[in-house]
Structure 1
Amino acid sequence: MSGLELFSIGSWSIFDHLLRMQRLPAEGETVALDMPIAEMERIHFGDCSANIAAVAARLGIRTGLGMVVGDDFDTSGYAAHLRQLGVDLAGVEIRGGTRSGHSFNFFDAENRSFCVSHLGVAECQDDWRIPEVAIASAKALVVSEKFSHYTLGAIESAKRAGRLTAINGMVATAGQSASRFLAAADILILSRGEAADLIDRLSFSSASALLDLGPRLVVVTEGSNGSRWYQAQGEIRLPAVKTEHFVDSTGAGDSFAASVVCGLVRGWPVEQTGKFAATVASFVVEAWGCQTNLPDMDQVAERYRNHFKENLIR
């Protein structure tokens, strides 16, 4: 576990069911699914923290994963899949006799969506112990849902150790602990909806105000409209990398977050990091599932050069 560049931690549901339709139904309405029946029957590997670990490892970052899962993490082939990508699983605890969670992701042609989840073993995290040794061994830590005592302990431990710390996702769901999460974070990465929810709960006027709570960098993704990057020096807007082969956006945000931390760990400037993250995410949306179409660095560099008309400085 020594020599890690990135450690990703958090537990939600590790299996995804993807259900696409032309439009989301109104109350009481029945609509037809718009997708191959074979895809409807597939169960994809997911979970934000595992998605981040998979993307980072594929990009050549020495990556570890921390989560608590059921026996099905092994029996489904998920553990073997991550090991093949190069993810260090020493921080993953498998609890015998339990099952991991499943998420059902519904989305329409306009990419409006909602998700329902059964968390399985991740439902109660009060007695979980963070992998202290693994966290201390890494240069950076990324925390994703569930925002519990488990992940709060992880990010505060990393902060005390002087590691680069990042939050990915709906930290507003941490309730009264949200302020502690934000105080321990160097980087905060949110979707447009997640940012709006957090800003509303805190009665702030804009995402830039979140910089006063601890993070030195706040990134808000806006889908095809690109992303906004807030720092003390001001705001930068960066474009998305659009693709002609859009299939499914599930996991695009996690791939973006993974790429942001990868770029910053490598010492890249913010503008290149943002363009890099947008490029990586453009691959993920081209196939069903979060980890189905992960690019390597050569593929990213080629698309980056073609889109931005400049070379990716590695």
Structure 2
Amino acid sequence: MPVPPRPRARIAVLGSANMDLVAYTRRAPARGETVTGEAFRTGAGGKGANQAIAAARAGGAVVMLGAVGDDDFGPRLRGALDSAGVDTARLRTVPGASGTAHIVVDGDGGNAIVVVPGANGTVTELADADLHAVAAADTLLLQLELPLAGVLAGALAARRHGVRTVLTPAPVVPLPDELLAATDLLLPNEHEAEALTGRADPHTAARALLDAVPDVVVTLGAKGCLWAARGKEPLTVPAPAAAAVDTTAAGDTFAGALAVALAENRPMPDALTWASAAAALSVEREGAAASMPERAEIDARAAKS
């Protein structure tokens, strides 16, 4: 008897869309210093768009909620999402500038980023059609490059409809109790976990965060990730070996792939291994969206883990 096809994971992403303006340089400048760059590139980015593209390439059926401007960048951002297979019917176009991210990538693949919100700053509430898109999803991905009011509206809608909510708390701001109460999985990196808790040790920080949310995954860069859940022993999943070229959007790649894996009901250890394989592939390539792997590539790398 033939095996029925696996239903596609339904992922809604409520988040930012930015045009990335990326300068590559051997060494990032210190304050007040000018250095000579080696290359400059532009491309679609923003934590929301990044996670949407990552989830779509990982095999999810993805809808993007957010806003772009009516400037030259807006159609380019929408086009990049469309090309990745993301549904942009709920991506608004508003008067003014699109969001931008000004990124410096150094010779070790590290980065420093300044984000100018632009159109993203207009997403303070959700329309009825946005709420319907959230309700139809298996998982809602959230970040903090939109106004907190908009993020909270999405999280509360997801909670009302039994949709899993995964929140990447970046950039770090104090998180309202109401938002934490509507979050199923908090996904900080180790620096964000420390900023939220005041605890430098990721294990200690993760335990502290469990007072507010039932599941925490702390990403640890080249060291992998740490999963902590109420009533369970913490688990550290090592990252696959990777020759880092550009770490921009590695965390977003991880988040998008993890959302797909969880929506497919994979056990958390397997989901984390798969998402880690996706992130490892992304750091071996330049760019944000341009670096994100397809599902077959993730499967192949995860099989080696």
- The TM-score range, normalised by the shorter chain, is 0.7 to 0.9
Deviation at 1:255, TM superposition (A): 0.5
Write the distance in 1 (CA, Å) between the matches of 2:206 and 2:266. Answer: 23
Q: Which residue in 1 is equivalent to 2:45?
A: 46
Distance 1:102 1:160, change over 3 A: same
Q: Which residue in 1 is equivalent to 2:60?
A: 61
1:70 aligns with 2:99: no
Indicate conservation of the 8 Å contact 1:22/1:109, yes or no: yes
Q: Which residue in 1 is equivalent to 2:209?
A: 210
Gaps of 5+ in 1: 309-314
Deviation at 1:128, TM superposition (A): 5.7
Instruction: Name the SS of the counterpart of 2:222 in structure 1.
Output: helix
Instruction: Name the SS of the counterpart of 1:261 in structure 2.
Output: helix
Deviation at 1:89, TM superposition (A): 1.2
1:98 aligns with 2:103: no
Write the distance in 2 (CA, Å) between the matches of 1:28 and 1:84. Answer: 40
What amino acid maps onto 2:280 in structure 1?
S
Distance 1:116 1:280, change over 3 A: same
Write the distance in 1 (CA, Å) between the matches of 2:10 and 2:266. Answer: 15
Q: Which residue in 2 is equivalent to 1:191?
A: 189
Gaps of 5+ in 2: 1-7
Write the distance in 2 (CA, Å) between the matches of 1:105 and 1:31. Answer: 14
Deviation at 1:56, TM superposition (A): 1.0
Q: Which residue in 2 is equivalent to 1:284?
A: 282
Instruction: Name the SS of the counterpart of 2:165 in structure 1.
Output: strand
Write the distance in 2 (CA, Å) between the matches of 1:73 and 1:211. Answer: 43
Q: Can you list the C-alpha shifts for 1:205-260, whole angstroms capped at 9, x where unaligned?
A: 522121121x221011111111111112021001112223x221111100001111
Length-normalised TM-score, structure 1: 0.85
Q: Which residue in 2 is equivalent to 1:239?
A: 238
Q: Which residue in 2 is equivalent to 1:6?
A: 11
Indicate conservation of the 8 Å contact 1:100/1:119, yes or no: yes
**Coordinate RMSD, CA, aligned:** 2.3
Indicate conservation of the 8 Å contact 2:52/2:256, yes or no: yes
Q: Which residue in 2 is equivalent to 1:154?
A: 154
Instruction: Name the SS of the counterpart of 2:291 in structure 1.
Output: coil
Write the distance in 2 (CA, Å) between the matches of 1:228 and 1:128. Answer: 33
Instruction: Name the SS of the counterpart of 2:193 in structure 1.
Output: helix
Q: Can you list the C-alpha shifts for 1:51-89, whole angstroms capped at 9, x where unaligned?
A: 111111112211111001112477643322322322111
Q: Which residue in 1 is equivalent to 2:291?
A: 293
Deviation at 1:119, TM superposition (A): 1.6
Q: Which residue in 1 is equivalent to 2:22?
A: 18
2:256 to 258, 262, 267: 258
Deviation at 1:50, TM superposition (A): 0.9
Q: Which residue in 2 is equivalent to 1:311?
A: none
Indicate conservation of the 8 Å contact 1:66/1:91, yes or no: yes
1:141 aligns with 2:175: no
What amino acid maps onto 1:5 in structure 2?
R
Distance 1:288 1:269, change over 3 A: same
What amino acid maps onto 1:239 in structure 2?
P
Q: Which residue in 1 is equivalent to 2:218?
A: 220
Q: Which residue in 2 is equivalent to 1:312?
A: none
Indicate conservation of the 8 Å contact 1:164/1:186, yes or no: yes
Length-normalised TM-score, structure 2: 0.88
